[in-house]
Amino acid sequence: SDSYSLLILPGDGIGPEVMAEVRKVIDWFQSNRGMRFDVSEDLVGGAAYDVHGTPITDETMAKAQSVDAVLLGAVGGPAYDNLDFSVKPERALLRLRKEMDLFANLRPAQCFDALADFSSLKREVVSGLDILIVRELTSGVYFGEPRGIHSDGNNPENEGGRVGINTQRYTSGEIRRVARAAFELAKKRKNRLCSMEKANVMESGVLWREEVQWVHDNEYPEVELTHMYADNGAMQLVRRPSQFDVIVTDNLFGDILSDAAAMLTGSLGMLPSASLGVPAANGRPKAMYEPVHGSAPDIAGQGKANPIACILSFAMALRYSYNEGAAADELEAAVERVLAQGARTADLMGPEGGTPIGTAEMGDRIVAAL
């Protein structure tokens, strides 16, 4: 078989530490499952800014465009908080998303049974929870023009004299393509899709609702589609998250709702994500994978970060970029097994205490469980 190309961007904070554990997993699949990975590595975020004065170089962008998959650790940290908007570590993420056209962000919110008690929600509300949020990632208010801060002339009614503007802009085509991705995923799951917007107050939400409905009626009539206002969606996620299977929503709502959903599960340090674009000539979509957790500067460099979210992000790469679904299942099962055996990094320790294991030991155990 030909080799699988992978660009690793460890980034900042705990990114490099958790990525080291993914390397072990990659080695295992190379040694034991006859896969060949062509792995390269580069700087991103604050780490890139420190060296190059930019959070991502053109060379790294070109590399990201050419590989089958990018695996990113995390970006940002207090050292970079006061950087100018245009060179903040986050710009690297936004540039990767936009230039690679990664329009479908898949954010599973899954409660690992061994961790159900770790949620702030009651066990019976989150136990077995398994929902998938599909967030539009390359348009909406994150990218619309005009944008910026400008002077309001001498408007006497505007104390302070400035105006801040962003534009929420969606085309029907942008909505349809992410809707299709969500319908496809729903078909492989429980066949239910809930679309969220604020069609009661925003015309872009009206368009969103109409276009998702159009894709349903014309292409996926067999999938059960419902629509919900995003504020009610936030409520329902808290009240009874298990009512959902797949949720599709826009860039900004998706940011908020997927983070809330991740926290509901109690498994935040466990959650992966995939950002997928259009399939290339070889059939593989442009793709970037990253753990949902951030760079966690408070524990960086201490060897106690949880590598599972990053390892599960690699499992998503196996599934969506390399078409190695069986290997992805194998890796996910190994993680479940290690958790069931009671292995816990510090972030997964409940109030009952116990002895946490470190980043490297968690990685080793997962490899051993494979």
Ligand X SMILES: CC(C)[C@H](C(=O)O)[C@@H](O)C(=O)O
Distance (Å, rounded) from C-alpha 116 to C-alpha 112?
Answer: 6
Ramachandran region, residue 140 (left: φ > 0; alpha: ψ -120 to 50; beta: rest)? left
Least distance from C-beta 285 to a copy of itself, angstroms? 18
Which residues, 6 or more positions from 120, have their beta carbon under 8 angstroms from its beta carbon? 263, 266
- Residues of this chain, 181-200, that bind ligand X according to CB under 6 A: 200
With binding defined as CB under 6 A, does residue 250 bind ligand X? no
Catalytic-labelled residue, pool 113, 117, 259, 347: 259
Read off φ and ψ for residue 131, nearest 5 degrees.
Answer: -120, 165
Q: Whole-angstrom Cα distance, residue 274 to residue 250?
A: 16
Residue 4 contact partner, candidates a copy of itself, ligand X, none, CB within 5 to 8 A by sort of partner: none
The answer to whether 82 is annotated as binding is yes
Please tell me the distance from the alpha carbon of residue 322 to that of residue 300, in angstroms, as a whole number. 31
User: Residue 9 corresponds to which amino acid?
Assistant: L
- Look at the alpha carbons of 244, 245, 248, 253 in this order and tell me if their dihedral is positive or negative: positive
Our answer to whether residue 142 is catalytic in this structure is: yes
Question: Is 170 known to sit in a ligand binding site?
Answer: no
Tell me the backbone φ, ψ of residue 190, rounded to 5 degrees: -95, 10
Rounded least distance, CB 130 to ligand X, Å: 20
Q: Pick the closer one to ligand X by CB: 205 or 285.
A: 205
Which residue in the block uniquely carries the two structure tokens 């990525």?
Answer: 19
| Interface with ligand X, residue 90, by CB under 6 A | yes
Summarize as ranges the residues that interact with a copy of itself (CB under 8 A).
85, 88, 90, 94, 120-122, 125, 141-142, 144, 147-149, 152, 155, 157-177, 198, 200-208, 211, 214, 230-232, 234-235, 237-240, 252-253, 255-257, 259-260, 262-264, 268
For 38-87, give the DSSP string: EEEE---THHHHHHHSSSS-HHHHHHHHHSSEEEEEE---GGGTTS-GGG
272 is in an annotated binding site: no
Contact between 347 and ligand X by CB under 6 A: the answer reads no
Query: What is the pattern of x (binds ligand X, CB under 6 A) and - over residues 46-85?
Result: ----------------------------------------
User: Active site residue: 4, 49, 255, 289, which one?
Assistant: 255
Measured between alpha carbons, how far is 131 from 262 in angstroms, rounded to an integer? 10
Closer to ligand X at the Cβ: 163 or 201? 201
In DSSP terms, which residues pair with 339 in a beta bridge? none
Strand order through the sheet with 192-197: 37-41, 4-11, 69-74, 285-291, 272-279, 104-110, 130-136, 246-249, 192-197, 224-229
- Give CA–CA dist 200/212, Å, rounded: 16
Catalytic residue among 198, 245, 250, 286: 198
User: Is the CB of 89 or the CB of 266 nearer to ligand X?
Assistant: 89
* Of positions 59, 231, 298, 329, contacts ligand X by CB under 6 A: 231
Binding mask 199-228 for ligand X (x = CB under 6 A): -xx---------------------------
Please report how close the Cβ of residue 341 comes to a copy of itself at its closest, in angstroms: 26
Write the CB contacts of 311 (distance below 8 Å, at least 6 apart in sequence). Answer: 18, 21, 22, 25, 331, 335, 363, 366
Active site residue 231: yes
Binds 263: which of ligand X, a copy of itself, none (CB < 5-8 Å by kind): a copy of itself
220 binds, among a copy of itself, ligand X, none (CB under 5 to 8 A by kind): none
Of 235 and 340, CB closest to a copy of itself: 235
| Binding residues with ligand X: total (CB under 6 A) | 6
Q: What letter does residue 222 receive in the DSSP assignment?
A: T
Active-site annotation, residues: 142, 198, 231, 255, 259
Interface with ligand X (CB under 6 A): 90, 93, 200-201, 231, 255
Enumerate the known binding-site residues: 77-90, 97, 107, 135, 231, 255, 259, 294-306
Enumerate the known binding-site residues for NAD(+): 77-90, 294-306
